[in-house]
Amino acid sequence: MQILQKSKKSKARTGKLKTSHGVINTPFFMPIATKGAVKNLSTYDLDELGTEIILANTYHLYLQPGEKLIKKAGGLHKYMNWFGPILTDSGGYQVFSLAKIRKIKQDGVEFQSHLDGSKHFLTPEKSIQIQQDLGIDIMMALDVCPPGDSNQKEIIKACDTTYEWAKKCFKAWQKTKKKQQLFGIIQGGIYKKLRDQSLKQITSLDFSGYAIGGLAVGEDRKDMYKVLEYIAPKLPENKPRYLMGLGRPEELVFAIKQGIDMFDCVIPTREARHGRLYQFCTQREKGAIKLFDNLAYKTSIIKNEKNKLDFSPINNKSEVKLLRQYTKSYLHHLFKIQEGLGLRLATLNNLEFYLDLMRKIQSAIRQGKL
């Protein structure tokens, strides 16, 4: 990763990350396409939003439609008609989110498919093989993501397994032509000592980049901030730093100030489907949440009746024509009648907000404001 600017006000930085499908400006946000689609959007929509990279999921694509099918199709890029960079999560998060239907063993995770109940065994090597078959740009090592309320013993165990698996992933990756990048993941919960140890272990392996995992999984928000502030600056400076799974806009700003370069989160897309819209606003407005400088944002619920007679555009400043043309009243109506177009417009709105936020942040770092 090439670093272009380092802030004097914080540990924030801007740069460029090269991948085999293009260069990405950092810090950046990845819209989530778990199963090979950003829900409700086409790749044309993603282009219009200025999307630079998306995130997909190894476990989900392995189960359906299967990595072999995608390989036959010419890889995930060709299969889903997206020719920018793709990062895949290894399946490690499903260790956490699908806790009821899996067993962690020494060599890997045993899953029972949430689709048909069939049993599957995901090993570090298998995860790498799947990600290679998918042909994506940035692979993630298989890790164990323990819940936020785990005790110290459980976190230690998760760290140990994560390290063992990281070594196996690294070894499997070394045997390939290394056209794809591989990132390692640091665990350790909210314990500084464990984070330090995990950092030391994982960074002993020369990964393409390093991620902080195991945050925003149920722990206290204050603890999350403390750990992030503590560990982020310790990550290797010349490599991309990825904070997995976060977050709210103010959390992204905070993390960027600690030196994080990469993010992904379901918030903009999921909340869009539930009718919550993100928008920039002035700091004085009711419900405004301050970000930095003079920038603030608020959310609103389009289903609320107050929108029924609001014939103003969804976002009159949007670069997306649809968002300038369709009114809030109409979007309210679309949600009431449960019409898919509503989901699409809301998703466009929220992703444009998140991607715009990152562009504003990049610009602020360049101008020395962040």
Binding footprint of RNA on the chain (CB under 7 A): 32-34, 37-40, 55, 57, 60, 89-90, 92-94, 96-97, 140, 143, 145, 185, 187, 211, 213-214, 216-217, 221, 244-248, 251, 264-267, 269-271, 273-276, 301, 303-306, 335-336, 338, 340, 342-343
Tokens at residue 16, please? 């460029």
| Terminal Cα-to-Cα distance of the chain (whole angstroms) | 21
CB nearer to RNA: give 308 or 317.
308
CB of 6 to RNA, least distance (A): 25
- What's the closest the beta carbon of residue 150 comes to RNA, in angstroms? 12
Query: Is 206 a known active-site residue?
Result: no
Q: Is 107 a catalytic residue?
A: no
- From 45, 137, 261, 264, the catalytic residue: 264
Smaller CB separation from RNA, 105 or 366: 105
Residue with Cβ nearer RNA (244 or 256): 244
Dihedral sign of CA atoms 259, 240, 57, 149 in order:
negative
Nearer residue to RNA within complex by CB, 125 or 264 = 264
**Residue 132 CB partners (closer than 8 Å, separation 6+):** 139, 176, 180
Residue 213: which of 60, 89, 59, 56 has the closest Cα?
89
Q: How far is the CB of 304 from RNA (least distance, A)?
A: 4
Q: Which is nearer to RNA, 118 or 337 (CB)?
A: 337
CB of 198 to RNA, least distance (A): 12
CA pair distance 77, 40, nearest whole angstrom: 18
Structural element, H or E, at residue 76: helix 76-80
Q: Rounded to whole angstroms, how far apart are CA atoms 356 and 224? A: 25
- The residue written with tokens 């390989």 in the block is 71
Q: Which of 243, 238, 202, 256 is nearest to 17 (CA)?
A: 238
- Choice between 46 and 364, CB closer to RNA: 46
Minimum distance from CB of 135 to RNA (Å)?
18
Integer angstrom CA distances of residue 23 from 53, 131, 168, 279? 9, 20, 28, 28
Residues 6+ apart with CB under 8 A from 225: 254
Of the candidates 45, 89, 261, 356, the residue annotated as catalytic is 89
- Minimum distance from residue 264 beta carbon to RNA (Å): 5
CA-closest candidate to residue 138, choices 85, 186, 181: 181
Catalytic site positions: 89, 264
